[in-house]
């Protein structure tokens, strides 16, 4: 069984939308948009929490692939 200290250490891995926005240097509206695009989150009562490793995975898979696609589209349009 986990002790209180173990649970508190695990809770440090979770961020609120405001904390996440501050850490990443984006707005809370951007975090909300990412939620709608599939960013995993946990709702406890009225609060929403994001697990740090899931945020990192989301950024690496979803946002990086979108940036690559966007750069590819811009490059192909400049050929003319």
Residue predicted with more confidence, 23 or 3: 23
Domains of the chain listed by start with CATH number: 4-77 (1.10.10.10)
Whole-structure pTM value: 0.67
Residue owning tokens 């002790």: 3
Q: Model confidence over 32-59: pLDDT tens digits?
A: 999 999 999 999 999 999 999 999 999 8
- Contacts (Cβ under 8 Å, ≥6 apart) of 15: 23, 49, 50, 52, 55
pLDDT for 64 beyond 80? no
Task: Give the phi and the psi of residue 51 in degrees, each rounded to 5.
Answer: -85, 130
């Amino acid at each position: 069984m986990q002790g209180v200290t173990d649970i508190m250490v695990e809770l440090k891995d979770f961020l609120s939308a405001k904390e996440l926005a501050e850490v990443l240097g984006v707005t809370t509206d951007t975090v909300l948009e990412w939620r709608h695009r599939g960013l995993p989150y946990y709702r406890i009562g009225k609060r929403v929490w994001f697990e740090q490793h899931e945020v990192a995975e989301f950024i690496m898979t979803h946002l990086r692939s979108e940036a690559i696609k966007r750069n590819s589209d811009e490059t192909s349009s400049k050929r003319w």
